[in-house]
């Protein structure tokens, strides 16, 4: 190991252990163990420009083992990112510090993704690598030609999502993906032998990956392994045998260095052992300069790249810039307006999953950045259109991914594609299988990514597949997640409007929940305005002073309309409010809300789902009709009757509430 290399790695180690010590919490073991690997990567290979962290052709670096966050912050500071100062490092884990406990994605900061829940970063990296390949195919390999590097830990590979993501990466032959495995054989409970006996070589080779194993503290071996990976035709796993807490006389190689400060005495001993004579947070000028030189390399690389970009013709440059800036085409609004008119004239009586397919069919050719997929339910979610072409192994000339039965990885991969930029991912499964991808969906919301989840089969209305497939608590669950729009459109017009909002939401993900069963067309008037953008709106009323307001979403809007007609027949005036998106409705003015949900009326809500949350609209005197138990296996219509989700139930209730 050259003396300067040792200094560079020690700068990372000591910034990390001193920050953890000062915060009195955090994880010193990983940065100490992986400092050598990370230094080789940044010194010799990683293409990045701290002066422009968003440069589109940068290599992506993902710290999947997010608990080792100080490794990332140290590298960002040392290489000269403005986003992370020494002061920020001294404020590790303190309120509003960019150096949060676990890396939190921030645009233009060098923190490429939020990690901490183990396994997520790995799936994000697969998404980034796919996005890179798609963009490369579209715009040429002289414009897009970067790699995705990941540091992942034992815990990352124990998580199920790692299997899903790695398996798909192997299938797709994502040769631009390089995973550096911190193979230290230690996790929180102690030796990994307590819980794992996987043969990693066999595991990764069976996925179709290239596998190398090296000493993760040997500069030359690390250098050669990464070099070899650059010419691989497969995704790359480099198992780096490391010592957790490297340099700590009493805690290295032990779980005790994983997730707690080493302690003042031990930190002193590490200083002695690694011959680091500087005070906490002191990085000598010569060493900092060496690191800064590594960071400066990127300026020239980006300049060269700008030269290549400038030579492209205007059309390509404009299109490339448009999708990178996440802007929809100029004529997109006009297209939507035309299609809305067309659907309004057709008034289709179809399942909203079919409505979604019809909307997609009309817009997808105009949005080449839209990349869809499904977790093996393409025909049920209706996510694949006539204009979809399938992404194949080593051939990325497509806009549709067969994710296989891998809901969790699908969501993590969609996050990765959105993070990469230039892609708007959408992916489908049944709403019930939200349970299989929720951890990643939560991160879509936490990171504020434009990811569109298409969840069909959204209620007991799916019928005979029975209670295992009938979502009950899922809307309540989704609506409790901050920064997520949950849409449940009632017909094709609402479906188009919900798609429009989702496509225009740049800082939050969207769920579009769709019915399996055919439902009537309910839109009364054609408006230029996107009615769903208010979240809820008056659909119909029988006079200006309704005694009852019936609020419904999706497939239950028609039940509400039937009830309104039946109430009218017995001289009770009512109104129907369609509520496709509670989150957007809640953002409206008090006046609007009180006007839509008639302040002086009694309220009834109906949704074939848990009633949890509806009380905020119906109030103490109102009643919510919904599901209070699991569903049953039977035809849809029978189930609605069995669970009293009918217009007659609404009428009976209204009469009772009014004392009639
Ligand atoms: C999904 C998930 N489960 C549990 C945890 C809590 N946790 C943090 S690190 C860790 C395991 C640590 O072992 P390893 O991945 O080998 O990291 P190392 O000890 O080598 O730093 C666990 C269980 C987590 N962050 N994410």
Read off the pLDDT of residues 512-533 as tens digits, 9 standing for 90 and up.
999 999 999 999 999 999 999 9
pLDDT higher than 90, residue 407 = yes
Task: Tell me, in angstroms, the distance from the centre of ligand 1 to residue 121's CA.
Answer: 13
Cα 234 to chain centroid, rounded: 25
Give residue 390 CA to ligand 1 midpoint distance, Å: 36
Distance CA 364, CA 484 (A): 23
d(CA 423, CA 240): 32
Which atom of ligand 1 is least distant from the CA of 66?
Answer: 25
Ligand 1 site-directed mutation target among 71, 115, 161, 187, most atoms within 8 Å of CB? 187
Protein residue with least CA distance to atom 19, ligand 1: 187
Percent of the chain scoring above 90 in pLDDT: 99
The CA 70 to ligand 1 mean position distance, Å, reads 15
pLDDT at 20 over 70: yes
Q: Which residue's CA is the nearest one to ligand 1's atom 25?
A: 117
Question: CA 522 to CA 396: how far, in whole Å?
Answer: 40
Q: Whose CA is nearest to atom 18 of ligand 1?
A: 187
Joined tokens for residue 635: 């035809």
Q: How far is the CA of 158 from the centre of ligand 1 (A)?
A: 9
Instruction: Return the pLDDT at 3.
Output: 66
384 in Cβ contact with 550 (< 8 Å): no
User: How far apart are the C-alpha atoms of 607 and 474, rounded to whole Å?
Assistant: 12
Mutate to test the pocket of ligand 1, among 27, 102, 150, 155 (most ligand atoms within 8 A of CB): 155
- Can you tell me which atom of ligand 1 is nearest the CA of 29? 21
| Ligand 1 atom, smallest distance to 68 CA | 21
Dist. CA 197 → ligand 1 center (Å) = 17
Confidence of residue 55 (pLDDT cuts 50, 70, 90): very high
Q: What is the pLDDT of residues 420-430, one digit of tens each?
A: 999 999 999 99
Q: Give me the residues paired with residue 602 across strands.
A: 548
Query: CA torsion, points 393, 380, 526, 520, in degrees to nearest 10?
Result: 170
Ligand 1 centroid – CA 319 distance (Å)? 42
Task: Point out the ligand 1 atom lying closest to the alpha carbon of residue 192.
Answer: 16
Rounded to the nearest angstrom, the distance between the alpha carbon of 102 and the centre of ligand 1 is: 12
Nearest 5°: the CA angle 177, 182, 188 is 130
Q: Which residue has the tokens 């007991």?
A: 460
Distance 120 CA to ligand 1 centre (A): 12
Distance between CA 131 and CA 421 in Å, rounded? 8
* CA-closest residue to ligand 1 atom 15: 155
| Phi, psi for residue 590 in degrees, rounded to 5 | -60, -40
Range scoring the smallest mean pLDDT among 1-15, 156-170, 260-274, 587-601 = 1-15
Ligand 1, atom 9, lies closest to the CA of 67
Q: Please give the backbone phi and psi of residue 445, each rounded to the nearest 5 degrees, phi first.
A: -70, -45
Looking from the CA of residue 158, the nearest atom of ligand 1 is 15
Q: Which atom of ligand 1 is nearest to the CA of 116?
A: 25
- How many angstroms is it from 71 CA to the middle of ligand 1? 15
* Catalytically annotated residue among 112, 362, 407, 547: 407
When pLDDT is cut at 50, 70 and 90, the band that residue 560 belongs to is: very high
The total of other beta-carbon atoms located within 10 Å of residue 657's CB is 16
Residue keyed to tokens 């039940």: 559
- Cα–Cα dist 209/470, whole Å: 38
**Ligand 1 site-directed mutation target among 184, 188, 439, most atoms within 8 Å of CB:** 188
Test site for ligand 1: of 38, 118, 408, most ligand atoms within 8 A of the Cβ:
118
| CB-based pocket (< 6 A), ligand 1 | 29-30, 65, 67-68, 116-118, 153-155, 159, 182, 184, 186-188, 244, 258
pLDDT in tens, 297-351: 999 999 999 999 999 999 999 999 999 999 999 999 999 999 999 999 999 999 9
Element of type H or E holding 307: helix 285-310
CA-to-CA dists, residue 472 to 134, 380, 626, 629, angstroms: 37, 19, 9, 8
DSSP H or E stretch at residue 569 = helix 557-569
Confidence of residue 394 (pLDDT cuts 50, 70, 90): confident
For 572-600, give the DSSP string.
Answer: --EEEEE-S-HHHHHTS-HHHHHHHTTTT
Q: In sequence order, what are the residues at sequence separation of 6 or more whose Cβ sits closer than 8 angstroms to the Cβ of residue 54?
A: 107, 108, 421
CA distances from 343 to 350, 358, 362, 379 (A): 12, 9, 11, 22
For ligand 1, atom 8, the nearest C-alpha belongs to: 67
Do residues 64 and 34 touch, judged by C-beta distance below 8 A? Answer: no
Of all protein residues, the one whose alpha carbon is nearest to atom 21 of ligand 1 is 30
Side-chain half-sphere CA neighbours of 257 within 13 A:
28
436 close to 404: Cβ distance less than 8 angstroms? no
Sheet holding 370-374, edge to edge: 400-402, 370-374, 424-430, 452-456, 510-513, 485-487
Active-site residue flag, 407: yes
For 464-502, write each residue's pLDDT tens digit: 999 999 999 999 999 999 999 999 999 999 999 999 999
Distance (angstroms) between ligand 1 centre and the Cα of 84 equals 25
Place 395 in a pLDDT band, splitting at 50, 70 and 90. Answer: confident
What does the mean pLDDT of the chain come to?
A: 97
Q: Which two tokens stand for residue 136?
A: 């490369």
Q: Which structure tokens are listed for 320?
A: 């490339």
**41 within 8 A of 129, measured Cβ to Cβ:** no
Atom of ligand 1 nearest to the CA of 439: 1
Is the pTM higher than 0.95? The answer reads yes
What pLDDT does residue 1 have?
Answer: 58
Backbone angles phi, psi at 239, to 5 degrees: -80, 110
Q: What is the pLDDT of residues 156-215, one digit of tens each?
A: 999 999 999 999 999 999 999 999 999 999 999 999 999 999 999 999 999 999 999 999
Decide if 522 contacts 558 (C-beta within 8 A): yes
Closest ligand 1 atom to 258 CA: 19
């Amino acid at each position: 190991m050259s003396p300067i290399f040792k200094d560079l790695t020690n700068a990372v180690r000591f910034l990390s252990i001193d920050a953890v010590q000062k915060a009195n919490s955090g994880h010193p073991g990983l940065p100490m163990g992986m400092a050598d690997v990370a230094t080789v990567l940044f010194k010799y290979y990683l293409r990045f420009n701290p002066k422009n962290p968003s440069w589109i052709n940068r290599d992506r670096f993902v710290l999947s083992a997010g608990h080792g966050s100080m490794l990332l912050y140290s590298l960002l500071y040392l290489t000269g990112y403005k986003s992370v100062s020494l002061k920020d490092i001294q404020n590790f884990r303190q309120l509003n510090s960019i150096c949060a406990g676990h890396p939190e994605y921030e645009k233009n900061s060098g923190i490429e993704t939020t990690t901490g829940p183990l396994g997520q970063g790995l799936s994000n990296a697969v998404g980034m690598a796919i996005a890179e390949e798609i963009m490369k195919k579209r715009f040429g390999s002289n414009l897009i030609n970067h790699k995705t590097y990941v540091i992942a830990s034992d815990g990352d590979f124990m998580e199920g999502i790692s299997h899903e993501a790695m398996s798909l990466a192997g299938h797709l032959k994502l040769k631009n993906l390089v995973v550096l495995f911190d193979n230290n054989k230690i996790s929180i409970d102690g030796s990994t032998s307590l819980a794992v006996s996987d043969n990693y070589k066999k595991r990764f080779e069976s996925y179709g990956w290239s596998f190398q194993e090296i000493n993760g503290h040997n500069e030359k071996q690390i250098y050669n392994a990464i070099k070899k990976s650059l010419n691989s035709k497969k995704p790359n796993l480099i198992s780096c045998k490391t010592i957790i807490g490297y340099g700590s006389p009493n805690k290295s190689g032990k779980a005790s260095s994983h997730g707690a400060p080493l302690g003042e005495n031990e930190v002193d001993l590490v200083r002695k052992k690694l011959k680091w004579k500087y005070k906490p947070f002191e990085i000598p000028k010569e060493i900092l300069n060496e690191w800064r030189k590594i960071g400066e390399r990127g300026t020239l690389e980006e300049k060269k790249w700008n030269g290549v970009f400038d030579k492209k013709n205007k059309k390509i440059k404009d299109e490339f810039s448009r999708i990178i800036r996440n802007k929809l085409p100029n004529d997109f609004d006009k297209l939507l307006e035309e299609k809305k008119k067309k659907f309004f004239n057709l008034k289709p009586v179809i399942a909203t999953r079919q409505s979604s397919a019809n909307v997609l069919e009309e817009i997808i050719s105009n949005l080449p950045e839209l990349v869809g997929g499904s977790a093996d339910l393409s025909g049920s979610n209706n996510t694949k259109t006539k204009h979809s072409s399938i992404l194949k192994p080593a051939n990325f000339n497509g806009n549709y991914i067969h994710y296989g039965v891998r809901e969790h990885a699908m969501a993590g991969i969609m996050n990765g594609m959105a993070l990469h930029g230039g892609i708007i991912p959408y992916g489908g499964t049944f709403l019930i299988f939200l349970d299989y991808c929720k951890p990643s969906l939560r991160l879509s919301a936490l990171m504020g990514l434009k990811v569109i989840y298409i969840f069909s089969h959204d209620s007991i209305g799916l019928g005979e597949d029975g209670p295992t497939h009938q979502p009950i608590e899922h809307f309540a669950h989704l609506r409790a997640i901050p920064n997520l729009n949950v849409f449940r459109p009632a017909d094709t017009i609402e479906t188009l409007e919900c798609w429009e909002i989702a496509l225009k939401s740049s800082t939050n993900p969207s769920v579009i929940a769709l019915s399996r069963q055919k439902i009537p067309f309910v839109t009364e008037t054609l408006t230029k305005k996107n009615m769903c953008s208010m979240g809820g709106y008056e659909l119909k009323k029988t006079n200006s002073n309704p005694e009852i307001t019936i609020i419904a979403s999706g497939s239950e809007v028609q039940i509400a309309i039937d009830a309104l007609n039946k109430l009218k027949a017995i001289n009770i005036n009512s109104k129907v409010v369609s509520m496709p998106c509670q989150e957007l409705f809640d953002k409206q003015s008090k006046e609007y809300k009180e006007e839509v949900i008639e302040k002086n009326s009694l309220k009834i809500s109906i949704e074939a789902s848990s009633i949890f949350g509806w009380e905020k609209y119906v109030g103490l005197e109102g009643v919510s009709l919904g599901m209070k138990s699991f569903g049953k296996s039977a035809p849809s219509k029978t189930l609605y009757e069995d669970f009293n989700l009918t217009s007659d139930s609404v009428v009976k209730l209204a009469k009772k509430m009014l004392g009639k």
